[in-house]
């Protein structure tokens, strides 16, 4: 039994290289300015300085039961604190717009509104890269970051498409509009058909969470709510599939422009 438990720990360590464990290691990671998605702190653990440093840098601190950290920990030596670092450094919005400018193309961006499943996010990033999108935007809170599982699902796409982490998604959407992008939200009850959406213009395709879809605030900020025509009996697509369909309709439309 103990052998099997240790075997599972080693397997987890091999699969997830984005976890930093232990008080000193986590604190120095924060001080070094690494891209950290979250800090998990066991309830009652010594870590006030770690929590303060994380919050100073705008990094969410998640208080949790020590048993959760035991389950997450590849080594079992977490000392009550684990940091989830990004598998890839995040980029700025300026970086995304710079890529579009260098290619001489109207910006094409994917915005993920609360995607929590790492396989979905990885698949969206992969579709974005293959469609030639200039960047992907994810929120800082209530969403998965660039974990090892996301990197695996993206199948190498992280090396070629920049990911921006938005501290405030609503403000970021406002900034995209100020920079001339039109926001196309994906929903089953959209008022615009996929084939009528003007994706040839500067575009942000906004994909909602797996369970709830677009949040009310995000939906209100979209210029268009786009529906994908369905011919079968199931009336919705997985978030990553919806993103792929909309992205490649944008590719088709841009090739014709």
174-206 pLDDT, tens per residue?
A: 999 999 999 999 998 899 999 999 999 999 999
pLDDT in tens, 123-159: 999 999 999 999 999 998 888 989 888 998 999 999 9
Same domain for 76 and 100?
Answer: no
**CA distance linking residue 150 with residue 155, whole number of Å:** 9
* Count, residues in the chain: 257
Give the pLDDT of residue 16. Answer: 53
**CA distance linking residue 102 with residue 104, whole number of Å:** 5
Question: How high does pLDDT run on average in the chain?
Answer: 89
Give the pLDDT of residue 14. Answer: 40
* Residue 70 belongs to domain with CATH number: 3.30.1330.30
**CA distance linking residue 27 with residue 237, whole number of Å:** 42
- The two beta strands, 61-64 and 108-113, are unpaired
Q: Which of 31, 58, 85 is the last residue of a domain?
A: 85
Higher pLDDT, 245 or 29: 245
Give the pLDDT of residue 202. Answer: 98
Same domain for 129 and 242?
Answer: yes
Owning domain of residue 44? 2-85
Same domain for 177 and 196?
Answer: yes
Same domain for 156 and 243?
Answer: yes
* Residue 113 belongs to domain with CATH number: 3.40.1280.10
> What are the distances in angstroms from CA 53 to CA 32, 81, 119?
11, 13, 30
Same domain for 163 and 70?
Answer: no
pTM of the complete model: 0.83
Same domain for 191 and 175?
Answer: yes
Same domain for 164 and 213?
Answer: yes
Same domain for 122 and 228?
Answer: yes
Tokens of 188: 């089953």
Residue 40: pLDDT over 60: yes
Place of tokens 């190498």: 156
User: What is the domain count for the chain?
Assistant: 2
Give the pLDDT of residue 7. Answer: 42
DSSP conformation letters of 89-130:
----HHHHHHHHHHHT---EEEEEES---HHHHHHHHHHHHH
Residue 5: pLDDT over 80: no
| Residue 35 main-chain phi, psi, to 5 deg | -75, 100
C-beta atoms surrounding 80 within 10 Å: 20
Residue 45: pLDDT over 50: yes
Give the pLDDT of residue 13. Answer: 41
Residue 3: pLDDT over 50: no
Residue 4: pLDDT over 50: no
Place of tokens 């996301």: 150
Q: Which of 56, 85, 114 is the last residue of a domain?
A: 85
Confidence class of residue 15 from pLDDT cuts 50, 70 and 90?
very low
Q: In what order do the strands lie in the sheet with 224-227?
A: 163-166, 135-139, 108-113, 203-208, 182-186, 224-227, 192-193
Q: Which of 25, 51, 85 is the last residue of a domain?
A: 85
Same domain for 189 and 206?
Answer: yes
Same domain for 113 and 232?
Answer: yes
Give the pLDDT of residue 100. Answer: 97
């Amino acid at each position: 039994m103990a052998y099997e438990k240790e075997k599972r720990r080693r397997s987890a360590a091999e699969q997830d290289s984005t976890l930093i464990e232990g008080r000193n290691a986590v604190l120095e990671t924060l001080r070094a300015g690494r891209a950290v998605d979250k800090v998990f702190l066991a309830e009652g653990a010594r870590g006030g300085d770690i929590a303060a440093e994380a919050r100073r840098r705008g990094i969410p601190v998640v208080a949790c039961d020590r048993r959760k950290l035991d389950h997450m920990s590849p080594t079992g030596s977490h000392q009550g604190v684990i940091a989830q670092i990004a598998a890839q450094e995040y980029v700025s919005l300026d970086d995304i717009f710079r890529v579009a400018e260098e290619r001489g193309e109207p910006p094409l961006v994917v915005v993920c509104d609360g995607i929590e499943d790492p396989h979905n996010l990885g698949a969206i990033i992969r579709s974005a890269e293959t469609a030639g999108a200039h960047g992907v935007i994810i929120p800082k809170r209530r969403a998965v970051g660039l974990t090892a599982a996301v990197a695996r699902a993206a199948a190498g796409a992280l090396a070629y498409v920049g990911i921006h982490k938005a501290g405030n998604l609503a403000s970021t959407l406002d900034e995209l509009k100020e920079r001339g992008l039109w926001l196309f939200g994906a929903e089953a009850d959209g008022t615009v058909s996929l084939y009528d959406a003007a994706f040839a213009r500067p575009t942000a395709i906004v994909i909602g969470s797996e369970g709830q879809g677009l949040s009310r605030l995000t939906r209100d900020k979209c210029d268009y709510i786009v529906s994908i025509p369905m011919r079968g009996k199931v009336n919705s697509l997985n978030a990553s599939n919806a993103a792929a369909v909309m992205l490649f309709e944008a590719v088709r439309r841009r090739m014709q422009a």
